[in-house]
Amino acid sequence: MELNGSQIVLETLKEQGVDTIFGYPGGTILNIFDELYKYGDTFKHILTSHEQGASHAADGYSRATGKVGVCFATSGPGSTNLVTGIATAYMDSIPMVAITCNVGTSLIGRDSFQEIDITGITMPITKHNFMVKSVEELAPTIRKAFKIAISGRKGPVLVDIPKDITAAKCEYTPEPAQVPDESKKAKKHCFEAAVELLSNAKKPLIYVGGGAISSNVGEDLITFAEKIDAPVVSSLMGLGAFPNNHELHVGLIGMHGRYEANRAAAQCDVLVVCGARFSDRVAGNRGKFAPKAEILHIDIDAAEMDKNLVSNYHLRGDLAEAIPALTKAVEQQSHSEWKEEINSWKRPFVQNQIGDYVNPQLVIEAADKYTDDDAIIVTDVGQHQLWAAQFYKYKKPRTLLTSGGLGTMGYSMGAAMGAAVGCPNQKVVMFVGDGGFHMNLSELATMASYQIPVVMVVMNNTVLGMVRQWQKIFYGNRFADTDPHRATDFVKVAEAFGVKGMRISSNDEIDSVMKAAIEMNEPVLIDCVISPDSNVLPMIPPGGAHTDIIEKM
Amino acid sequence: MTEKLILAALVKNTSGTLQRVAGLFSRRGYNIDSLTVCETEDPRFSRMTIVCTTQPEYVRQICQQLLKLEIVEKVVVLNDENAVGSELLLVKVKAQGIDAKNAVLALNQKYGARVKDVTLKSMTLELTGTADVLEEFIDKVEQYGIIELARTGATALERGEHSIIDDVI
């Protein structure tokens, strides 16, 4: 049948199973929005306050559901406003398709109104991007965009469509949804070497990263850990991949990770890396990370092998295939002494009580107490992010959404909306600092308009806590622009947007307020008055090793 | 310890390809010495010859990063044993009067360079060869005074009877 470009965009999205789009209209994307209007209920379009919110929402939707998130934006500033969200998704390997429109082909290259070279701008932050030059290319390009987003190591793809192409007509034939390209299989000798290594390990340790979540390896990871009897540490991105209440769970590793997790990495003789990249926040000092270990690196992305840390054994491939295969090939192992050794190093995370301020640890533990294992925790970036990583007990994959790679302040509002829209049967609790909340609080309007039931917990210390913490340690307490002490009344802000606002001013209010907020099925903001002097501890200074750990400040 | 690395990359012949490859090198901090692009015998593909200076342990990483680009089909590491390479030099030298011109011509003959343009005061010479030979030639003509010069950077083909495209299609 003959369709116009806008109809083709929507039809190809329908082919891919897309039913939710986050976006913002504008001049060049008008044709597509006009069709969206005519398509009625086929798509749920969430109009955000700002395109950045739409891109974070598509990202949050994707992280929570495992599906491809989709966002729409117009040319020029509409497209550039997506950039931070696309970069955030790229750094965390989140599959997403951003569709932008550009000025008509006859206006391109003339600095026309709202013209921008968005493919040029997003080249380094997308897996790939396209500018569609003819309506005939449109459907194949969008299909290809989905294919790229979900194949191999996942990530964002952008498709830029000049306005005239959204109106031009051509024949359209529906096709089935794209499936990921088959991932490369690990070589036989590499696999055999890995089995041999795991069979002879005395002090094995598993280090999981975001790949353990995006691969959907699921419970096979637990079976694997049990079979090789190896304790499991996790990067921030990997939290949830391995249940917190499992006997083999050691927990967060890295800069603000558990002492015993970092010490275990330093002492292990075999380190099995599952979909992680030895980021500088995990291996601060690459030369001193896992110095005694033979490293088996399992990753779908061959370019991760030896990128940050040279490893002795490589298994390239999908964890969802490699892990069950290894489990099958290895005999049951037992390492009770090693497990006891790690247990003996245990030093629980503790957040010191400061004056009469609300203790963030208790707030997060209360959120844990009143939510079930399926609840989705979304964080912004900063101290509260690490507290949410330390004190909430994640038991399932896709229950912690956080900007781990790019560290995007302002991420949480959009991401929480996306998660809540994508998973209406799961409770979404969002933690944000007052700094990050100020960045994108305009999305309160979206929360209110669509009555998106997110519990937004503002950890309000009136300062830029994490940066301030670094100033305490490395800059002689010179608090350059981290002490704004803004007078914003977040409860009033929430109410002004039509969102219920609550406040926790002391520890004894935590339980009742948190419980009430979680039980409500509407957007609600909680302003938590915490101390400007709280720190995230322990901390391994940047470039440091586990022996440099700071436990008191 | 750094070494010279020559890569042949078979890439899709689409717009923006050069930008994608050059962008990868700059954002990952790899140094490009030279880069040449041309359409191949199959118009769907272009061939890039990339010369860069790097530490040997990064060679695999550079190749893997290139292969992650959607447009890159294949990457081959080239060296003197498995490939033949060449570069084109154009150099304009001062050459006023018959003696100067004769001297330049004698040098040309020794290196197999060709004269592409002559004026009252200058001669423009063309030479192809490996980077070492071109550099030697440049050193020699320097005595006459170089007005300007242009080099293409190396381009190279694997030795033998096959094509880089053979196992891609």
User: For B40-58, what is each residue's pLDDT tens digit?
Assistant: 999 999 999 999 999 999 9
Q: Which residues of B touch A151 (CB under 8 A)?
A: none
Range list of H helices, A433-553: 434-440, 444-449, 465-474, 490-496, 510-519
pLDDT at position A36 is: 97
CB A379 within 8 A of CB A385: yes
Same domain, yes or no, for B66 and B97?
no
pLDDT at position A60 is: 98
Structural domain count, chain A: 3
Determine the 3-state secondary structure of A204 from DSSP: strand
pLDDT of A287-315, one tens digit each?
Answer: 999 999 999 999 999 999 999 999 999 99
Q: Which domain holds residue B24?
A: 3-78
Q: What mean pLDDT comes out for the span A54-73?
A: 98
Same domain, yes or no, for A222 and A163?
no
Count the helices and strands in chain A (H runs, E runs): 22, 20
Using alpha carbons, list the distances in angstroms from residue B134 to B145, B154, B159.
16, 11, 22
Residue A225 token pair: 């850990």
Residue B13 token pair: 């012949």
pLDDT surpassing 90 at residue A170:
yes
Report the residue from A123, A148, A306 with minimal CB separation from B61: A306
CB A21 within 8 A of CB A43: yes
In a domain, A382, yes or no: yes
pLDDT at position A183 is: 85
pLDDT of A179-223, one tens digit each?
Answer: 999 988 889 999 999 999 999 999 999 999 999 999 999 999 999
Which residue's entry shows tokens 């040279």? A310
Which residue of B19, B57, B61, B71 is the best one to mutate when testing the A interface, meaning the one whose CB has the most A CBs within 10 A? Answer: B61
pLDDT at position B162 is: 94
Residue A334 token pair: 């037992």
In a domain, A10, yes or no: yes
Same domain, yes or no, for A309 and A232?
yes
Same domain, yes or no, for B90 and B66?
no
| Burial class for A258, CB neighbours closer than 10 Å (0-12, 13-18, 19+) | buried
In a domain, B42, yes or no: yes
pLDDT-derived band at A418 (thresholds 50, 70, 90) equals very high
* CATH number of domain containing B71: 3.30.70.260
Q: Which residues of A touch B26 (CB under 8 A)?
A: none
| Burial class for A331, CB neighbours closer than 10 Å (0-12, 13-18, 19+) | exposed
- B155: closest CA among B54, B18, B35? B35
Residue A498 token pair: 């039509």
pLDDT surpassing 80 at residue B169:
no
pLDDT-derived band at B168 (thresholds 50, 70, 90) equals confident
pLDDT-derived band at A172 (thresholds 50, 70, 90) equals very high
CB A96 within 8 A of CB A89: yes
Same domain, yes or no, for A246 and A153?
no
* CATH number of domain containing A513: 3.40.50.970
Report the residue from A128, A302, A310 with minimal CB separation from B64: A302
Which residue's entry shows tokens 């005519």? A38
Structural domain count, chain B: 2
Same domain, yes or no, for B88 and B73?
no
Residues of A with a known catalytic role: 51, 113-114, 163, 466
Of A150-164, A496-510, B26-40, the range with the lowest mean pLDDT is B26-40
pLDDT at position B15 is: 87
Report the residue from A123, A148, A307 with minimal CB separation from B20: A123
Q: Do B67 and A303 lie within an 8 Å CB cutoff? A: yes
Instruction: Give the distance, in angstroms, between the CA of residue A488 and the centroid of all CA atoms in the same chain.
Output: 28
* CATH number of domain containing B97: 3.30.70.1150
Range list of H helices, A229-270: 259-267
Residue A544 token pair: 């440091």
Å from A307 to nearest chain B CA?
6
pLDDT of A102-130, one tens digit each?
Answer: 999 999 999 999 999 999 999 999 999 99
pLDDT-derived band at B85 (thresholds 50, 70, 90) equals very high
Is B70 in the A-facing interface, judged by CB distances under 8 Å?
A: yes
Domain-terminating residue out of B45, B62, B78: B78
pLDDT at position A4 is: 98
Is B61 in the A-facing interface, judged by CB distances under 8 Å?
A: yes
Go through chain B and tell me how many residues it has.
169
